[in-house]
Structure 1
Amino acid sequence: MVGSFITGFGISIGLIVAIGAQNAWVLNKSMRGEHPAVVALVCCSIDALLITLGVYSVDWVQQRIPGLVPVLTWLGICLLCWLAAQAFWRVWHGSEGLRVAVAGAAVTKWQVAGQAMAISLLNPHVYLDTVVLVGSVGAQQSYPGYFVVGAAAASATWFFSLTGFGRYLGPKLRSPTAWRWFDATVGGVMVLVAVSLVP
C-alpha cells in the first residue's frame, strides 16, 4: 500500500514540476495575487479527476487488450527521457529566466477559475501525462487506489506550494542561473522516475 502511494506521488511530482505553460501561468497568478488558492484548487482537482480516469480506464482496457499497458509504459519512459533531455538542454544553452506578465485589470474568482480550467484542459500534455502515463503505471500497481491518492496528493502539494510561495519563488527564477539549477533538478527527477519504470 505504502509502495503504491509513494510510486504515485513520485511519478506525479516528477511530471508536474516540469515548468511549462500551466505552471508558468500559475506562478504569474500567484505573484500578481490573483486568487492563488482558487488557481491551486482548480488545477489539483482537475489532475485528481484525470489521474483517477487514467488509472481505472487503463485497467479496463488492460483486461481487454493486455499488451497495451506495457507499450504505454515504454512510451511513458520515452516521454520522461525526452522531457529530461529538454530540461538538460535548457541547462546547457538557456540564457533567460522566468518571464512574468505585468498586472492587468482585476479579475474575479470565477474568471480565474475559468482561466485555470482552460489552461489545464486545453493543454494536450495534461492528458498524455495524467491519463496515459500516470494511468498506465497506476494500473500495474497492487493497490491502484493508494497510487491515485499518492498522485493526487503530489498534485495538491505542488500547486498549493507553487501558489503559496510563488511571490517569493518567482523573482528568484527570473535569474538565468537559478533557472538552470531548477531545470537541472527537474531533469534529474525525470531520469529517476523513468529508470524506476523500466520493467
Structure 2
Amino acid sequence: MTPSLLTGFGISLGLIVAIGAQNAWVLNKSMRREYPWVVAAICASIDATLITLGVYSIESLQQRLPTLVPVMTWLGIALLCWLGGQAFRRAWQGSSGLLTSQQRGAHSGWQIAGQAAAISLLNPHVYLDTVVLIGSVGVQQANTTAFVIGASSASLLWFFSLAGFGRFLGPKLQSPRAWRIFDTLIGIIMLLVAFSLAPTATG
C-alpha cells in the first residue's frame, strides 16, 4: 500500500505545485481572507473527484481496449519528461515569482465558491493532469485505492496549506528564488516518476 500511496502523493503534488492561475488565485483569496477554507475544500474536492474518475475509468476502458493503457502510459511518460524539462527551465531562468494582490474584495461565500469551481473546471490542464496523466499512472499501481488516496491527499494538503498560510506564504512565493527551488523539486519528481513508469510501458 505504501509505495502506491507515496507515488500518488508525489506525482499529484508535483503537478499541483506550479506557478499557475489557480494557485495564484487561491493564494490571493487566502491573503485577502475571502473564505479561504471554502476555496480550499472546493479545489481539493474537484481534484479528488477527477483523480478517482481518471484512475477507475481508465481501468474500465483497459478491459475493452487492451492497448489503451500502454499508449497512455507512454504519453504520460512523454508529458512527465516535458513537464520536468519545463520546471528545470523555469528554475534555470528564475525570472518570475507568484503575483498576488492584497486588495480586499467584497464577495459573498457563494460567489467565491462559484469562482473556485470555475477556475478549477474551466482549466483544460486540470483534466489532462488528473484524468489522463494521474489516471494512467494510477492504473499501473499494485493498489489503486492507495494511489487515489495518496494523490487526493496531496491536493488536500496543498490547497489547505495555501488557505492556512497564505499571509505567510504570499510574500515568500513572490520571490523568484523561492520558485526556483520549487521548480527544481518539481522537475526531479516528474522525471523520477517518468523513469519509474518505463518498465510497465514496455512490459
Q: TM-score over 0.5 for the alignment?
A: yes
Matched, 1:87 2:87: yes
Between 63-72 and 160-169, report the one with greater CA deviation: 160-169
In the alignment, what sits opposite 1:180?
A: 180
Between 165-174 and 39-48, report the one with greater CA deviation: 165-174
In the alignment, what sits opposite 2:157?
A: 157
Q: State the alpha-carbon separation in 2 of the partners of residues 108 and 74 from structure 1.
A: 45
Question: Following TM superposition, by how much is the alpha carbon of 1:104 offset from its aligned partner in structure 2, in angstroms?
Answer: 4.3
Q: TM-score scaled to structure 1, two decimals?
A: 0.93
Q: Give SS of 2:172's match.
A: helix
Report the number of matched residues: 199
Question: Following TM superposition, by how much is the alpha carbon of 1:63 offset from its aligned partner in structure 2, in angstroms?
Answer: 0.3
Question: Following TM superposition, by how much is the alpha carbon of 1:187 offset from its aligned partner in structure 2, in angstroms?
Answer: 1.8
Q: State the alpha-carbon separation in 2 of the partners of residues 37 and 68 from structure 1.
A: 38
2:94/2:177 contact within 8 Å kept: no
Q: List structure 1 runs of 4+ shifted beyond 6 angstroms.
A: none
Q: State the alpha-carbon separation in 2 of the partners of residues 123 and 81 from structure 1.
A: 21
In the alignment, what sits opposite 2:148?
A: 148
Q: Give SS of 1:106's match.
A: coil
Residues 179 and 4 from structure 1, CA distance in 2 versus in 1: closer, same or farther, beyond 3 angstroms?
closer
1:14/1:193 contact within 8 Å kept: no
In the alignment, what sits opposite 1:22?
A: 22
Q: TM-score scaled to structure 2, two decimals?
A: 0.92
Q: State the alpha-carbon separation in 1 of the partners of residues 9 and 92 from structure 2.
A: 29
Between 182-191 and 35-44, report the one with greater CA deviation: 182-191
Residues 57 and 156 from structure 1, CA distance in 2 versus in 1: closer, same or farther, beyond 3 angstroms?
same
Q: State the alpha-carbon separation in 1 of the partners of residues 139 and 146 from structure 2.
A: 11
Question: Following TM superposition, by how much is the alpha carbon of 1:11 offset from its aligned partner in structure 2, in angstroms?
Answer: 1.6
1:97/1:173 contact within 8 Å kept: yes
Between 67-76 and 134-143, report the one with greater CA deviation: 134-143
In the alignment, what sits opposite 1:191?
A: 191
The alignment yields a C-alpha RMSD, in angstroms, of 1.5
Identity among equivalent positions (%) equals 68
Question: Following TM superposition, by how much is the alpha carbon of 1:165 offset from its aligned partner in structure 2, in angstroms?
Answer: 1.5
Q: State the alpha-carbon separation in 1 of the partners of residues 136 and 38 from structure 2.
A: 29
**Letter aligned with residue 126 of structure 1:** V
In the alignment, what sits opposite 2:13?
A: 13
Unaligned stretches of 5+ in structure 1?
Answer: none
1:136-161: CA deviation from partner (whole Å, max 9, x where unpaired): 12122222122111111111111111
In the alignment, what sits opposite 2:31?
A: 31
In the alignment, what sits opposite 2:167?
A: 167
Unaligned stretches of 5+ in structure 2?
Answer: none
Between 144-153 and 38-47, report the one with greater CA deviation: 144-153
**Letter aligned with residue 85 of structure 2:** A
Q: State the alpha-carbon separation in 1 of the partners of residues 5 and 185 from structure 2.
A: 22
Residues 14 and 95 from structure 1, CA distance in 2 versus in 1: closer, same or farther, beyond 3 angstroms?
closer
